[in-house]
Structure 1
Amino acid sequence: MSCDFRELAVPGIQGLHPYLPGKPVEELERELGISNIVKLASNENPRGPGASVTRAVSASVAGLSRYPDSNGFELKQALETELGVESSRITLGNGSNDVLDLLGRTFIQPGDEVIYSEYSFVVYALVTQALAAKAVVTPAKNWGHDLDAMADAITDRTRMIFIANPNNPTGTWLTDSELQTFLAKVPAHVVVVLDEAYTEYVALDDFPNGLLLQAQYPNLVVTRTFSKAYGLAALRVGFAVANEAITDLLNRIRQPFNVNSIALSAAVAALSDQEYLKRSVQLNTAGMAQLECGLAALELEWIPSAGNFLTVDMKQDAAEYYQALLHQGVIVRPVANYGMPNHLRISIGLPEENQRCLDALAKVLSA
């Protein structure tokens, strides 16, 4: 007797394609038998963890037989001190993807409409489809969010709007004035999720801090992560900041112990090491300039970015270039699954990693 278990799955899951992460170094080593690989595919902090984080992780090992603090009291207190938000408005997650999923499961029902932009983070689409909601994808403007189009797309069936600032995978950004003008148009019952995963890297005039807008817009939820500038991608720590009513709802369905003890301790240590964060941002700024200079010398164009990556226009199907770079021991990110088949996203690495990527690009372009 056999059974088609796919037919038993809920409708939103049946047609879902899983998230495609950047290729791991170990996988490329197995496939091609090469070493000394440079990974510039997943927008990670290339510096490795700070010394305070390493010490905190080591100290946490002794407690591995005990469950973590499910409420994350110490991390919430540290976030309250650093960000100036009440701990009662914080929801911790296993990475910010976790809280994005929590938000969807809390507010989105089958048939509801969810608005997000073309070329925006693929998890928004995954959350929407998994919940059998209707995706309303607004056309991008200069590779970024067209807030006027998003406002015009709101109907009485709209339940959630996802906005990334800066946006991944394009690096585009919205100004404070643009965002506030948009938020003023959104009905109070529509939850706006502002994904600020890369906000620590931004040093631009008129760039919004979503946390400062929440007093005026109680339907605004801000998500952030420790995976990027804070260098904790492997430990998976993210959080949402929202009004207390939304936070209460999120914590009703949040899985117990969703952030492990080592991750909690590491995040507290990372928050306390502002010098590490400062140097990481400085390294990113210098690396961005290095890549831009090198790409210009190669006569390649890119989308201006406020994140820790550049998305480069290869002027033709980028898959061939991606594969050629793999054979040079350089992993970047193809973004055809975002509807950008001619582009490659390149994360900012250490100076020598950036140069290795530029040298490999020069070689494959001349082949």
Structure 2
Amino acid sequence: MRSKEVLKQLSPYKQGKQTKDIQKEFGLDYIVKLASNENPYGFSDKVKELFRASEPVFNIYPDGYTSELRYLISEKLNVNPESLIFGSGSEEIIQMLCRSYLTIGDQVIMATPTFPQYKHYALIEGAEIAEHPVNEDGSHPLDKMLEAVQDNTKIIWICTPNNPTGIAISKEELENFLNRCPSDVLVVLDEAYVEFLQPEKDLNAVGLLDKHPNLIVLRTFSKAYGLAGLRIGYGIADPLIVETLDKVRGPFNTTSAAQQAAVIAFSDQDFIQHTYRENKKGLKQFQAFLTSIGWDYYESEANFLLVKTPKSGMDAFDYLIKHGFIVRPGELLGIPNTIRVTIGKEEDMKIMENILKDYQEQLN
């Protein structure tokens, strides 16, 4: 059997080491996973109450239109219900976009490093990849990305705050970019971490859709809402884009359980505010600690910090994992000599800080 030739150049996604693997390998009981930017505070108690009170119905197909969640979000965001597309996480929508708009020889433009699935799914469709290194501060090189637009350019990917650097673009930068971008190029604005932005830095990207019908905004319930295990996300775009994506979307691509949980989670903004406050506090404390031991980092508007390490990121990763802390080495993300650390609970972060302090002392 012969697959697409490009698949020989690609590798399946490799997730970070899991808790059970670490426990078995190092004989540890205390394991803290800070590698995948999950919510350390779990998810809304109201979601827990939902599943305690309701018996699951697994023998019936889910609502393929995602009606209840669709109408809730459309009302909250003041958008047409037909402007919403739902996926198994926003990642599935990325896959839909590539499948819908890309063919062999088309070009896509992105920063590097950024979320790797943009490139992965584009390559599968035969697209050419134009990657532009992030600026020294980790921000998107928007001018260079615009200069790279050609007649065959179909999609430009913008992740803000960017994963893995954590840097967010400003509203002025976005509006300037959209005003200069050709209207036949699809701009994908991935706001997976939008709930962690300071209110004054919110792009209000949804408010730009009427003026820029070539824009699609992606969001997810996997990060701040704490529903990563249920896999549900959504996109907001011109109804014509949504109609196109619906043609490649699986008819029942989000589960009943995910839809129900997302409805409850979206309605509980008190939990989101709690997550926001705790993350901001933990981020500032961790930044202050790093400064105290002489380490640098990229400024972050997300729930993680890309830390510059004195030796390789793999070396710091190995030291931390032996002490029960799982982080993501920068060598796997495209920025050597760094580690990406999810901001965890205060008590866990304090323990990790002591471990990193010991590590630094051993290097001296």
Structure 1 stretches of at least 4 aligned residues deviating more than 6 Å after TM superposition? none
* CA deviation profile, 1:62-81 (whole Å, cap 9, x unmatched): 31221111111011111112
Q: Tell me which residue corresponds to 1:99.
A: 93
| Counterpart secondary structure, 1:235 | coil
2:211 corresponds to which letter in structure 1? Q
Q: Tell me which residue corresponds to 1:32.
A: 26
Count of residue correspondences: 361
1:50 paired residue among 44, 50, 68: 44
| Counterpart secondary structure, 2:264 | helix
* CA deviation profile, 1:277-315 (whole Å, cap 9, x unmatched): 110101111111111111111211000000001100003
Q: Which segments of 5 or more consecutive residues in structure 1 lack a partner in the other structure?
A: none
State the 1:240 CA deviation: 0.8
1:92 corresponds to which letter in structure 2? F
Q: Tell me which residue corresponds to 2:107.
A: 113
Q: Tell me which residue corresponds to 1:145.
A: 140
Q: Is 1:248 matched up with 2:243? A: yes
Q: Which segments of 5 or more consecutive residues in structure 2 lack a partner in the other structure?
A: none
| Counterpart secondary structure, 1:23 | coil
Q: Tell me which residue corresponds to 2:326.
A: 331
Q: Tell me which residue corresponds to 1:127.
A: 121
Q: Which of 94-103 and 329-338 deviates more?
A: 329-338
TM-score w.r.t. the length of structure 1 is 0.96
State the 1:335 CA deviation: 2.2
Q: Is 1:229 matched up with 2:224? A: yes
| Counterpart secondary structure, 1:345 | strand
Quote the Cα distance in structure 2 between the aligned partners of 1:290 and 1:84: 37
State the 1:207 CA deviation: 3.8
Q: Which of 149-158 and 294-303 deviates more?
A: 294-303
Q: Is 1:355 matched up with 2:350? A: yes
| Counterpart secondary structure, 2:14 | coil
Describe the shift of the 1:206–1:46 C-alpha distance in structure 2 as closer, same or farther (beyond 3 A): closer
Q: Tell me which residue corresponds to 1:65.
A: 59
Aligned-residue CA RMSD (Å): 1.3
* CA deviation profile, 1:142-166 (whole Å, cap 9, x unmatched): 2220110000000001000100011
* CA deviation profile, 1:223-264 (whole Å, cap 9, x unmatched): 000011111111111111110011011111101211111111
Quote the Cα distance in structure 2 between the aligned partners of 1:272 and 1:88: 20
2:255 paired residue among 251, 257, 260: 260
| Counterpart secondary structure, 2:241 | helix
Q: Which of 9-18 and 276-285 deviates more?
A: 9-18
Q: Which of 199-208 and 354-363 deviates more?
A: 199-208
Residues 314 and 330 of structure 2 are in contact (CA less than 8 Å); yes or no, is this contact kept in structure 1? no
Q: Which of 27-36 and 350-359 deviates more?
A: 27-36
Q: Is 1:80 matched up with 2:74? A: yes
| Counterpart secondary structure, 1:62 | coil
Percent identity for Structure 1 against Structure 2: 35
1:131 corresponds to which letter in structure 2? E
